[in-house]
């Protein structure tokens, strides 16, 4: 059809079969020529298209052509049809989402979306679904939404895909059009429906519970697709829309997981899918693969599982490698549910282990890793190590080495095996090995297990094995391995009574002399030598060591040797500094250096100048020198708030700079996360030096080791069959029985071997704080007197820099909270009774008192300066269906002072009524629930029970029993709630059960809607604190909100409204910028920076939680829209 | 460790949810190891792309016909398929279905075949823009969005027609 192109072939394509050096020269030349041509004004659009294609070519070959980016945007703007399309294409290839030039594209997209030419609309939608600046989504959103109703399917389809992209970029922007997605799902055209599935897959992954009602729709769609109801052109090799089927199966999998009722809806269609896929084509296997996963994920049905297992057999037994690979992948997935399936295919798996294709081997090892237990660990680890020895790939080595170490630690049958395996890991892993493996290993050795005797044996075995390894000459060991060896020898050589310490020192000394050891390793070795000297009185080697390293060029080694000299001379110090077998006790450092206080006081008394921290000295020097300052000036609001007038878009980070920071050495704050953590550390070093500590009685529970249950292989049946087979096959059978031991059905308990703690050999003692396995930890536990360099000097710096600024609290000119509420028009939507912040126009607002700047964030509400918004008189505003006044509940006095909502009837019948009231306390949302007995008889054994979802957390129990409620009486219960996961709206459900006299128990369900705003509280900060906090928060969202008013007061009005409606705290308003802070209970803070310019309010939110900014922005949007 | 967590968090804001079942890139390479087309669905710097492509070529091209068409490269799975002197290589993440992607390659080639009637390497070289336009109809944001051959070609054929007239 389109055979010969009118364009001239790019010259570089013509000669592209050339050597690389020539290629570079040619392309550089071509780029230069193109650069000239694109900037020539006479270049026609057609030529420009050609140029851009060539530029695409250059970038594809790895040569940046950034000069052409702007021309791509221009071509998209000016060209028509094909030129325009190529312009858009080049833009999508050249730029990424954050590129600033992308903003220039927005107008073009807007224009093309409104074009009458369908092709242009198509292009605009395509590019919008490839990349679009997130800030500008609101500009095109209405146009894209409009296209959902377009008469052409292709436009509707592309509009859905663009919305999908917008959802990826900024989920909160498309929150309001979820209904339209449903419409797209029901579109008469299958293409549009298929496009909407991408959005649904994402939505359902995030919240499977919210879309269960769509299950039957998805099932119906899949039924129609499988049944061949689609047009023939959707077929691929006579299989109807295979990729669509795959997508639907994935969605069903998410919906049916852990949900029997939903799963039952899909059994039929899964059965049919498994049956239909009998054509022997790759694509049917691809569908089958998804089917198998779905069947094994949803609530199980025996019949289906059997069929799926049979299908899986087809994969594994296939001679085609692609299918075999997929079969192994499916099997590793399936065994999470059913280990027995592995047994069916054990011989095939054995064959795959020796497969010539390494990727199949890898996948097999992955499978074996998942079925490892205490009985087959030796064989499996052996196979993994074999693979490791052949593999050269760094990525694979790292991941596999980690797995071997994990398995060895969990299931090691004997000490010898464990040490040998770890030795293999260290030598095979070489220097690629991640640091946490040796660290974990050493920690394991040092901290030991529950059995003292076994610990000793393990350590002794390690010592023996390392000594044997060091005997061998001319073998090069990786650095990490050498470090491990020297640490172990230094710590535990004393266990080996028959060896002479000086011999070990000798061999370590020899090691030290070898140039192959890195500096870090040498420090390890030296510290081991030092430790060994405490075991021996024979210091024959000492002079040699001191001579070699006493004047070493390396300062670290030199220092080590001096320390060694001192320690050897004074055995007493040696024994206190390097006690035997105490590597697990922490060294305590008095970081405040309080023992120097006397010295400092003396010095000051003698007229010494007080200490000034480094930065202070520098500043003073700077101010003296009066040199030009090349640094940008920090915004110092405390001194002159006028400075930060509206100069461009300034980030509030500038607020944090403050020049007056003084420091107090004894209170040097160690809160800085970078500095040493000293909480709970015993004090060992004091004024007099080392403080001797009392010997603590060891509370080591000596538990008997888990006797390795002698589980004989349940493969007697397999073994029987082996008779009469060739030797090779017998070998395989043997391997099979050793690999799959412990997986049989009569051994079900150990199926879960990996999670089962009893089979875990090296269980860590509980005292160990997990997650602290960083390198430093090991460093600190080893009492090495020669820590690697560069660790010590940092300490001082950190201490100094983290000093709290103890500045005089500058009275901040805080804007009073809406002190005259008349200024702020508050509307009164009567129907939204639950939004009590709007509900009363009698808002009595208590002024926020400017609080001292030293106030810490945690103690925000300690001083009680809480913006309290009290509805004027609540009771008079009770809803119509309120029962007579004697029954109407009254809020206890202690809550009346807090702001609270109206009473709401949550559930009622002829006998009882439940009213709720939200009380917005400082530290929680208090739900007060009133249980009213309306009947004329008494109610007994009433219980109110709240069911909490993940999002919410209650302070105490959620059950409230009321043994007896008299007729016409009201009792109350209260529930303190905090929001753990931010979300715009959450339902608090629950039920109340009660007995009426002796009759049957009655149950009533109820539900209460809670909103994000219920949990938002003001966060009182000063501008400085705001600045500091702003810098420490990482999740941010920016958004421009259009704003009708353009008066100079607009920002103040907007912020005050936000303050009222959302309970935010206005920290400061300067010119056209304002900073606002709030927190989500219990303690997630969120900071807002608002800037008003030309009718646009730019809001920039930051928080420590990634979801909160989105949710809060949504609330702000709602409030601002109402203005 | 901490750094990793933060990185993950950052990604989640950007993409709003974990991204799985995803195509990371699409490459056309000839037997000599020259790139004929590349499209990345995740932002990546140009020089990193070049390095990645070199590695990919090293990993895929020497493999024999009877070997598995899937290759592991770091945290990426490569799915490749050879057509005469031309290789199509797609990088995917672990959750994607390798076989479905393998067949997607064939579908793509069939579409090219339909458009160029018996496509060859030169067609792709001289019509790089058009091949990209076809690809954009099939894969967007790393997801398979259209596999119906006639529908894939609709916009391009219409553009050709308008340009001719």
Dihedral sign from CA coordinates of A654, A656, A662, A663: negative
Pair A947, A1032 in one domain: no
**Contact (CB<8Å) A60/B100:** no
Confidence band, pLDDT 50/70/90 cuts, at residue A1082: confident
Question: What pLDDT is recorded for position A595?
Answer: 80
Residues of chain B contacting residue A170, judged by C-beta atoms under 8 Å apart: 16
Contact A741, A714 (CB under 8 A): yes
Of the ranges A448-452, A623-627, B120-124, the best mean pLDDT one: B120-124
B106 to chain A: closest CA residue = A236
Q: Which residues touch A731 (CB under 8 Å, ≥6 apart)?
A: none
Pair A1027, A1115 in one domain: yes
Residue A953 β-bridge partners = A978
Mean pLDDT in residue range A684-713: 42
| C-alpha distance from B33 to closest chain A C-alpha (Å) | 11
Residue A468 included in any domain: yes
Query: 98-127 in B: which are within 8 Å (CB) of A?
Result: 98-100, 102-104, 107, 115-117, 125-127
Of the ranges A721-730, A793-802, A835-844, A895-904, the best mean pLDDT one: A895-904
Question: What pLDDT is recorded for position A1122?
Answer: 74
Residue A1031: CATH number of its domain: 3.30.310.10
Question: What pLDDT is recorded for position A1007?
Answer: 81
**How would DSSP label each residue in A1040-1059?**
EEE-S--STTHHHHHHHHHH
Pair A1039, A933 in one domain: no
Residues of chain A contacting residue B141, judged by C-beta atoms under 8 Å apart: 129-130, 164-165, 168
Q: What string of pLDDT tens digits covers the 165 residues of chain B?
A: 333 333 333 333 333 334 566 899 999 999 988 999 999 998 888 889 999 999 999 988 888 888 899 998 888 999 999 998 899 999 999 889 999 999 999 999 999 999 998 888 899 999 999 999 999 999 998 999 999 999 999 999 999 998 887
Structural domain span for residue A1077:
1016-1121
User: In this predicted model, what pLDDT tens digit does every residue of A324-379 receive, in sequence order?
Assistant: 999 999 988 888 777 777 888 888 888 888 888 888 888 899 888 888 888 888 88
**Contact (CB<8Å) B147/A242:** yes
Mean pLDDT in residue range A141-151: 91
Question: What pLDDT is recorded for position A701?
Answer: 38
Residues of chain B contacting residue A245, judged by C-beta atoms under 8 Å apart: none
Pair A1005, A1048 in one domain: no
**Contact (CB<8Å) B129/A57:** no
Of the ranges A199-203, A847-851, A1063-1067, the best mean pLDDT one: A199-203
User: In this predicted model, what pLDDT tens digit does every residue of A744-766 receive, in sequence order?
Assistant: 544 433 333 334 333 444 544 43
Of the ranges A326-330, A735-739, A848-852, the best mean pLDDT one: A326-330
Query: Is the pLDDT assigned to residue A222 strictly greater than 70?
Result: yes
Query: Is the pLDDT assigned to residue A703 strictly greater than 60?
Result: no
What pTM was estimated for this model as a whole?
Answer: 0.62
| Residue A243 to residue B101: CA distance in whole angstroms | 9
Residues of chain A contacting residue B68, judged by C-beta atoms under 8 Å apart: 321-322, 324-325, 357, 359-360
| C-alpha distance from A87 to closest chain B C-alpha (Å) | 10
Question: What pLDDT is recorded for position B89?
Answer: 95
Confidence band, pLDDT 50/70/90 cuts, at residue A879: very low
**Contact (CB<8Å) A286/B107:** no
Domain boundary among A511, A545, A577: A577
User: In this predicted model, what pLDDT tens digit does every residue of A642-681 receive, in sequence order?
Assistant: 433 333 333 343 333 333 333 343 343 334 444 444 444 4
Buried b (16+ CB within 10 A) or exposed e, A517-546: beeebbbbbbbbbbbbbbbbeeeebbeebb
Residues of chain B contacting residue A774, judged by C-beta atoms under 8 Å apart: 1
Looking up tokens 């501008």 gives A1023
| Residue A243 to residue A198: CA distance in whole angstroms | 12
| Residue A597 to residue B36: CA distance in whole angstroms | 73
User: In this predicted model, what pLDDT tens digit does every residue of A754-803 receive, in sequence order?
Assistant: 343 334 445 444 343 444 444 444 444 444 444 444 343 443 344 334 33
Pair A455, A554 in one domain: yes
Residue A1005: CATH number of its domain: 2.60.40.1230
**Contact (CB<8Å) B144/A243:** yes
**Contact (CB<8Å) A325/B66:** no
Mean pLDDT in residue range A125-143: 90
Question: What pLDDT is recorded for position A108?
Answer: 92
Residues of chain B contacting residue A251, judged by C-beta atoms under 8 Å apart: none
Question: What pLDDT is recorded for position A7?
Answer: 43
Supply φ then ψ for residue B161, to 5 degrees. Answer: -65, -45
The mean pLDDT of chain A is 75
Secondary structure (3-state) at A361? helix
Encoding tokens for residue A141? 């959103």
Pair A555, A500 in one domain: yes
Task: Enumerate helices (H) and strands (E) in chain B, giving the number of each.
Answer: 6, 7
User: B11 touching A, CB under 8 A?
Assistant: no
Confidence band, pLDDT 50/70/90 cuts, at residue A245: very high
Which of A85, A161, A360 has its CB closest to that of B140? A161
Which of A157, A233, A243 has its CB closest to that of B150? A233
**Contact (CB<8Å) A130/B129:** no
Supply φ then ψ for residue A851, to 5 degrees. Answer: -95, 160
The DSSP letter of residue A257 is B
Pair A463, A561 in one domain: yes
Encoding tokens for residue A514? 């070898």
Task: Tell me which residue of B114, B126, B96 sits closest to B157, measured CA to CA.
Answer: B114
Question: What pLDDT is recorded for position A94?
Answer: 92
B143 to chain A: closest CA residue = A198
Residues of chain A contacting residue B76, judged by C-beta atoms under 8 Å apart: none
Residue A1039 included in any domain: yes
| Residue A654 to residue A1024: CA distance in whole angstroms | 9
Mean pLDDT in residue range A12-34: 72
Mean pLDDT in residue range A1013-1021: 85
Residue A1079 included in any domain: yes
Query: Is the pLDDT assigned to residue A702 strictly greater than 50?
Result: no
- Name the pairing type of β-strands A1035-1042 and A959-965: unpaired
Domain boundary among A970, A992, A1012: A1012
Residue A950 included in any domain: yes
Question: What pLDDT is recorded for position A624?
Answer: 67
| C-alpha distance from A395 to closest chain B C-alpha (Å) | 6
Residues of chain A contacting residue B46, judged by C-beta atoms under 8 Å apart: 59, 62-64
| C-alpha distance from B41 to closest chain A C-alpha (Å) | 9
**SS (HEC) of A583-649:** CCCCCCCCCCCHHHHHHHHHHHHCCCCCCCCHHHHHHHHHHHHCCCCCCCCCCCCCCCCCCCCCCCC
Question: What pLDDT is recorded for position A635?
Answer: 53
Q: Can you say how many angstroms the Cα of residue A960 is from the centroid of all Cα atoms in its chain?
A: 37
Question: What pLDDT is recorded for position A889?
Answer: 54
| C-alpha distance from B105 to closest chain A C-alpha (Å) | 12
A194 to chain B: closest CA residue = B145
A3 to chain B: closest CA residue = B116
Buried b (16+ CB within 10 A) or exposed e, A107-145: ebbeebbeeeeebbbbbbbbbbbbbbbbbbbbbbbebbb
Pair A452, A568 in one domain: yes
A207 to chain B: closest CA residue = B17
Mean pLDDT in residue range A382-401: 86
Complex-level ipTM: 0.90
Of the ranges A144-153, A942-951, A1102-1111, the best mean pLDDT one: A144-153
Share of chain A above pLDDT 90, in %: 16
**Contact (CB<8Å) A129/B140:** yes
User: In this predicted model, what pLDDT tens digit does every residue of A514-556 receive, in sequence order?
Assistant: 767 788 888 888 888 888 888 777 777 788 888 888 887 788 8
Question: What pLDDT is recorded for position A253?
Answer: 92
User: In this predicted model, what pLDDT tens digit does every residue of A833-846 receive, in sequence order?
Assistant: 444 444 334 433 33
Query: Is the pLDDT assigned to residue A590 strictly greater than 50?
Result: yes
Residue A910 included in any domain: yes
Of the ranges A11-20, A1013-1022, B134-143, the best mean pLDDT one: B134-143
Of the ranges A123-132, A703-712, A995-1004, the best mean pLDDT one: A123-132
| Residue A642 to residue A809: CA distance in whole angstroms | 19
Q: Which residues touch A162 (CB under 8 Å, ≥6 apart)?
A: A125, A128, A129, A144
Confidence band, pLDDT 50/70/90 cuts, at residue A742: low
Q: Which residues touch A238 (CB under 8 Å, ≥6 apart)?
A: A279
Residue A371 included in any domain: no
User: B82 touching A, CB under 8 A?
Assistant: no
Q: Where are the beta strands (DSSP E) in B31-140?
A: 35-40, 70-73, 76-83, 86-92, 139-140
Residue A414 included in any domain: no
Contact A487, A457 (CB under 8 A): no
User: B68 touching A, CB under 8 A?
Assistant: yes
| C-alpha distance from A718 to closest chain B C-alpha (Å) | 31
Q: Which residue has the higher pLDDT, A1034 or A397?
A: A397
Sheet holding B76-83, edge to edge: B35-40, B23-30, B86-92, B76-83, B70-73
Question: What pLDDT is recorded for position B101?
Answer: 95
Query: Is the pLDDT assigned to residue A855 strictly greater than 60?
Result: no
Mean pLDDT in residue range A708-730: 50
Pair A986, A1058 in one domain: no
Pair A475, A558 in one domain: yes
Q: Which residues touch A724 (CB under 8 Å, ≥6 apart)?
A: none
Residues of chain B contacting residue A289, judged by C-beta atoms under 8 Å apart: 97, 99
Residues of chain A contacting residue B66, judged by C-beta atoms under 8 Å apart: 321
Which of B37, B97, B141 has its CB closest to that of A165? B141
Residues of chain A contacting residue B164, judged by C-beta atoms under 8 Å apart: none
Pair A999, A1037 in one domain: no
Pair A452, A573 in one domain: yes
Q: Which residue has the higher pLDDT, A486 or A620?
A: A486
Domain boundary among A556, A577, A598: A577
User: B6 touching A, CB under 8 A?
Assistant: yes
Encoding tokens for residue A142? 């209405």
User: B143 touching A, CB under 8 A?
Assistant: yes
Question: What pLDDT is recorded for position A712?
Answer: 40
Could you give the number of structural domains in chain A? 3
Which of A2, A357, A1034 has its CB closest to that of B10? A1034
Residue A720 included in any domain: no
């Amino acid at each position: 059809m389109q055979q010969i192109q009118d364009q001239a072939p790019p010259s570089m394509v013509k000669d592209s079969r050339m050597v690389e050096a020539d290629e570079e020269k040619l392309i550089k030349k071509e780029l230069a020529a193109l650069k000239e041509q694109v900037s020539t004004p006479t270049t026609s659009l057609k030529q420009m298209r050609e140029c851009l294609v060539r530029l695409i070519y250059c970038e594809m070959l790895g040569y940046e052509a950034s000069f052409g980016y702007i021309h791509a945007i221009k071509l998209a703007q000016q060209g028509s049809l094909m030129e325009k399309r190529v312009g858009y294409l080049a833009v999508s290839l050249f730029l990424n989402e954050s590129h600033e030039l992308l903003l220039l594209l927005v107008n073009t997209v807007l224009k093309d979306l409104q074009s009458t030419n369908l092709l242009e609309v198509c292009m605009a939608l395509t590019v919008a679904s490839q990349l679009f600046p997130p800030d500008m989504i609101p500009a095109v959103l209405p146009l894209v939404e409009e296209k959902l109703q377009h008469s052409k399917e292709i436009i509707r389809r592309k509009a859905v895909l663009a919305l999908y992209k917008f959802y990826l970029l900024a989920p909160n922007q498309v929150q309001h059009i979820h209904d339209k997605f449903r419409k797209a799902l029901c579109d008469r055209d299958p293409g549009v429906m298929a496009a909407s599935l991408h959005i649904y897959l994402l939505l359902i992954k995030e919240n499977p519970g919210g879309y269960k009602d769509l299950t039957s729709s998805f099932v119906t769609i899949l039924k129609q697709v499988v049944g061949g109801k689609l047009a023939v052109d959707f077929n691929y090799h006579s299989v109807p829309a295979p990729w669509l089927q795959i997508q639907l199966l994935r969605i069903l999998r998410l919906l049916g997981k852990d949900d029997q009722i939903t799963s039952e809806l899909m059994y039929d269609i899964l059965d049919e899918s498994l049956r239909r896929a009998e054509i022997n084509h790759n694509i049917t296997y691809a569908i089958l693969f998804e089917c198998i996963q779905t069947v094994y994920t949803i609530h199980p049905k025996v019949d289906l599982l059997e069929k799926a297992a049979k299908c899986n057999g087809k994969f594994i037994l296939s001679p085609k490698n692609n299918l075999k690979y997929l079969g192994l992948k499916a099997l590793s997935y399936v065994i999470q549910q059913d280990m027995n399936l592995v047994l069916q295919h054990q011989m095939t798996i054995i064959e795959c282990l020796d497969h010539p294709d390494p990727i199949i081997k890898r996948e097999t090892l992955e499978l074996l890793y998942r079925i490892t237990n205490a009985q087959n660990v030796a064989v499996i680890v052996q196979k993994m190590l074999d693979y490791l020895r052949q593999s050269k790939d760094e990525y694979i080595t790292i991941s596999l080495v980690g797995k071997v170490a994990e398995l060895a630690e969990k299931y090691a049958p004997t000490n010898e095996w464990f040490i040998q395996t770890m030795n293999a890991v260290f030598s095979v892993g070489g220097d690629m090995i991640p640091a946490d493996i040796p660290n974990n290993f050493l920690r394991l050795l040092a901290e030991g297990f529950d059995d003292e005797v076994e610990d000793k044996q393990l350590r002794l075995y390690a010592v023996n094995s390392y000594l044997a390894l060091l005997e061998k000459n001319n073998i090069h060991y990786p650095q990490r391995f050498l470090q491990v060896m020297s640490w172990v020898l230094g710590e535990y050589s004393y266990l080996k009574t028959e060896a002479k310490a000086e011999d070990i020192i000798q061999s370590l000394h020899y090691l030290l002399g070898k140039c192959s050891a890195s500096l870090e390793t040498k420090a390890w070795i030296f510290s081991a030598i030092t430790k060994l000297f405490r075991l021996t009185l024979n210091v024959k080697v000492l002079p040699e060591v001191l001579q070699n390293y006493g004047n070493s060029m390396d300062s670290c080694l030199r220092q080590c040797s001096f320390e060694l000299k001192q320690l050897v001379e004074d055995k007493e110090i040696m024994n206190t500094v390097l006690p035997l077998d105490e590597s697990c006790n922490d060294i305590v450092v008095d970081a405040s250096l309080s023992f120097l206080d006397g010295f400092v006081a003396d010095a000051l008394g003698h007229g010494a100048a007080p200490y000034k921290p480094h930065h202070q000295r520098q500043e003073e020097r700077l101010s003296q020198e009066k040199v030009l300052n090349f640094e940008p000036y920090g915004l110092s609001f405390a001194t002159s708030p006028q400075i930060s007038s509206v100069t461009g878009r300034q980030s509030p980070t500038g607020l944090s700079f403050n020049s007056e920071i003084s420091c107090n050495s004894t209170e040097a704050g160690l809160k800085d996360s970078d500095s040493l953590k000293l909480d709970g550390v015993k004090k060992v070093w004091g004024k007099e030096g080392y403080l001797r500590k009392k010997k603590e009685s060891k509370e080591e529970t000596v538990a008997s080791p888990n006797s390795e249950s002698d589980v004989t292989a349940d493969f007697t049946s397999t073994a029987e069959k082996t008779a009469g087979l060739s030797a090779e096959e017998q070998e395989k059978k043997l391997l099979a029985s050793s690999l799959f031991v412990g997986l049989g059905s009569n051994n079900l308990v150990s199926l879960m071997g990996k999670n089962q703690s009893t089979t875990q050999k090296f269980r860590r003692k509980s005292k160990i704080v997990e997650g602290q396995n960083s390198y430093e930890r090991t460093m600190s536990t080893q009492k090495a007197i020669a820590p690697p360099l560069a660790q010590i000097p940092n300490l001082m710096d950190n201490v100094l820099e983290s000093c709290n600024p103890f500045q005089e609290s500058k009275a901040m000119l805080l804007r009073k909270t809406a002190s005259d509420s008349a200024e702020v028009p508050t509307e009164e939507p009567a129907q939204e009774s639950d939004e009590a912040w709007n509900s009363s126009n009698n808002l009595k607002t208590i002024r926020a008192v400017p609080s001292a700047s030293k106030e810490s964030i945690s103690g925000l509400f300690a001083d009680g300066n809480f913006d309290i918004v009290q509805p004027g008189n609540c009771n008079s505003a009770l809803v119509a269906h309120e029962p007579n006044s004697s029954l109407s509940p009254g809020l206890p006095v202690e809550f009346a002072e807090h702001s609270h909502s109206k009473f709401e009837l949550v559930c009622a019948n002829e006998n009882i009524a439940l009213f709720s009231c939200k009380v917005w306390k400082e530290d929680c949302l208090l739900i007060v629930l009133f249980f009213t007995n309306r009947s004329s008889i008494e109610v007994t054994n009433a219980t109110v029970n709240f069911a909490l979802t993940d999002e919410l957390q209650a302070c105490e129990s959620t059950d409230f029993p009321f043994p007896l409620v008299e007729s016409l009486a009201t009792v109350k219960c209260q529930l303190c709630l905090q929001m753990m996961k931010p979300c715009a709206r959450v339902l608090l459900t629950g039920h109340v059960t009660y007995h009426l006299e002796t009759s049957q128990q009655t149950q009533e369900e109820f539900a209460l809607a809670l909103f994000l705003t219920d949990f938002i509280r003001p966060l009182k900060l000063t501008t400085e604190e705001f600045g500091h906090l702003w810098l420490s928060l990482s999740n941010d969202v920016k958004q421009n909100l259009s704003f009708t008013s353009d008066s100079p007061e607009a920002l103040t009005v907007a912020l005050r409204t936000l303050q009222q409606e959302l309970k935010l705290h206005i920290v400061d308003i300067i010119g056209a910028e304002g900073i606002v802070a709030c927190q989500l209970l219990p303690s997630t803070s969120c900071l807002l920076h608002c800037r008003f310019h030309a009718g646009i309010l730019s809001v920039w939110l930051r928080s420590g939680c990634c979801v909160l900014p989105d949710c809060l922005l949504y609330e702000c949007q709602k409030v601002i829209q109402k203005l | 460790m901490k750094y990793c967590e933060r990185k993950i968090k950052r990604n989640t804001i950007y993409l709003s949810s974990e991204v799985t079942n995803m195509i990371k890139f699409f490459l056309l390479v000839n037997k000599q190891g020259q790139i004929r087309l590349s499209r990345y669905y995740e932002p990546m710097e140009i020089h990193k792309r070049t390095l990645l492509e070199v590695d990919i070529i090293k990993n895929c091209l020497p493999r024999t016909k009877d070997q598995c068409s899937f290759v592991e490269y770091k945290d990426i799975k490569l799915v490749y398929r050879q057509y005469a002197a031309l290789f199509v290589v797609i990088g995917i993440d672990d959750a994607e279905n390798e076989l479905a992607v393998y067949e997607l390659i064939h579908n793509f080639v069939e579409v090219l075949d339909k458009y160029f009637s018996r496509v060859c390497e030169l067609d792709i070289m001289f019509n790089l823009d058009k091949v990209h336009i076809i690809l954009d109809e099939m894969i967007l944001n790393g997801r398979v969005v259209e596999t119906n051959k006639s529908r894939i070609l609709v916009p391009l054929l219409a553009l050709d027609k308008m340009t001719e007239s």
